[in-house]
Amino acid sequence: MSKSDRYLATIRASILTRIVYALDLAISDTNDLLAQHGLLRSQLLDPYASVPLRPYSALLEAAASRTGDKEFGLRIGAMLRPIDLGPAGLLLSTAPTLRLGIERFGRYIATIQSATQVGLHDDGAWAAWIYKVEDPTVWPRVQDSELTMATMCTLFRARLGPRWAPLEVHFEHGGADRGLALRKFFRARIRFDQPFTQVLIASADLDRPLRTEDAEVTPALERHAQDLLARQMESEEHSLATLTEQARRIIVARLHLERISVASIARDLGLSTRSLQRGLAAHGTTMRNLLREVRRELAEQRLDSGKSSHASIAQAIGYSDTTVFWRAFKRWSGTTPRAFRERSERNPCDNETKPSAQPNKPVRRRRTPRT
């Protein structure tokens, strides 16, 4: 199984509608651009269809380049409405508090985008809404990340008022040259080259009463979302990955949250530790080997991009500091991170796919960050 097939990452085709509309206004060969990424305009006809996330993300990058608009994803995200996101978006927009809406949205994120995790980490005075794509081959994803953050902040403003602003917005990618445009949109401090993509929100905003719960609409939306989720799960079962690839996906998703062990992965797979060990052995590998492979894959991709610091890479793949990362990378590859990056810069064609590193656990702070 190739890297591009491992994670089964897809996105709701209806999201493409706004993108195609914007492209039609800016260029004359939208259909050709779609075809170059294996996408068709006809896919927009079924609002419940899905398209692979990797070509979708690549299309966004190409659209920004083709139109000369570095903020292409940002502008699309500002236009998306709850209905574009299906029942998950509507559940977010109709909840009595933003916190409850975000929790419901996260519960049904797979109805919009699979192989993706979102979550709210509350630190008391502030909370972080984190966006994590499990598929490391979806890289670069500058436009996708900015589109997602813009969408969420637009939905939050629809609930909290147009003057609302987050505390900070963090992006995995670099982009100092676009900092002014992003600060203007978010009206908050922007941080680039971070180990994960997130928006920081004042906790008081999460619990502000916004409306009375609709006793009829909410259950209907949840039932619809559950039906879509069941359909999504059934579809994925027909193309279920091997035990090794299932374990790999969990490692990518959990690397930032906890110490990876055979026991923790077995728990998530619903297996005994011994059964998982035997299954991995049958595939000629071990949990230690899988963990090393994932870390190396993510680290090499960040180094290939040329924009991530060694400190942020170390944090993104679960190491406590750059020294531990340096030693591990030298052991894996026989070369140093710096030498690997310099070689990649000299020979960019040697790296055909660029999987991304996953967001790490947010650093606990003692005080609310200043805007």
Tens of pLDDT, residue by residue over 132-161, are 988 777 888 999 999 999 999 999 999 999
* pLDDT on residue 245: 79
Residues 8 and 109 reside in one and the same domain: yes
Residues 42 and 73 reside in one and the same domain: yes
Beta carbons within 10 angstroms of residue 172's beta carbon: 30
Asked if residues 110 and 101 have their Cβ atoms less than 8 Å apart, the reply is no
* pLDDT on residue 88: 96
Residues 166 and 41 reside in one and the same domain: yes
In a domain, 293, yes or no: yes
Sign of the CA dihedral running 172, 173, 175, 180: negative
Residues 166 and 268 reside in one and the same domain: no
Residues 285 and 344 reside in one and the same domain: yes
Residues 7 and 144 reside in one and the same domain: yes
In a domain, 142, yes or no: yes
* pLDDT on residue 152: 98
Q: What CATH number is associated with residue 119?
A: 3.90.1520
Residues 290 and 178 reside in one and the same domain: no
* pLDDT on residue 351: 46
In a domain, 368, yes or no: no
Final residue in a domain of this structure, among 221, 252, 276: 221
In a domain, 319, yes or no: yes
Final residue in a domain of this structure, among 190, 221, 252: 221
Q: What CATH number is associated with residue 270?
A: 1.10.10.60
Final residue in a domain of this structure, among 157, 188, 221: 221
pTM: 0.71
Query: β-strands 126-133, 168-170: how paired?
Result: unpaired
* pLDDT on residue 42: 84
Residues 83 and 191 reside in one and the same domain: yes
Q: Measured between alpha carbons, how far is 74 from 67 in angstroms, rounded to an integer?
A: 14
Question: Measured between alpha carbons, how far apart are the two ends of the chain, in Å?
Answer: 45
Q: Of 41, 59, 57, which is closest to residue 49 (Cα–Cα)? A: 41
Q: Measured between alpha carbons, how far is 113 from 52 in angstroms, rounded to an integer?
A: 9
In a domain, 43, yes or no: yes
Segments of the chain scoring below 50 in pLDDT: 1-2, 4-7, 238-240, 351-371
Q: Is 161 left (phi over 0), alpha (psi -120 to 50) or beta?
A: left
Residues 174 and 315 reside in one and the same domain: no
Residues 125 and 8 reside in one and the same domain: yes
Q: Of 301, 276, 258, which is closest to residue 3 (Cα–Cα)? A: 301
The residue type found at 42 is S
Question: How many structural domains compose the chain?
Answer: 2
Beta-bridged to residue 119, according to DSSP, are 130
Residues 167 and 20 reside in one and the same domain: yes
Residues 211 and 262 reside in one and the same domain: no
In a domain, 371, yes or no: no
Q: Of 237, 256, 277, which is closest to residue 136 (Cα–Cα)? A: 256
Alpha-carbon Rg for the chain in angstroms: 21
In a domain, 327, yes or no: yes
Asked if residues 337 and 303 have their Cβ atoms less than 8 Å apart, the reply is yes
* pLDDT on residue 367: 44
- Identify the domain containing residue 32 by its residue range: 3-221
Q: Measured between alpha carbons, how far is 100 from 95 in angstroms, rounded to an integer?
A: 6
In a domain, 367, yes or no: no
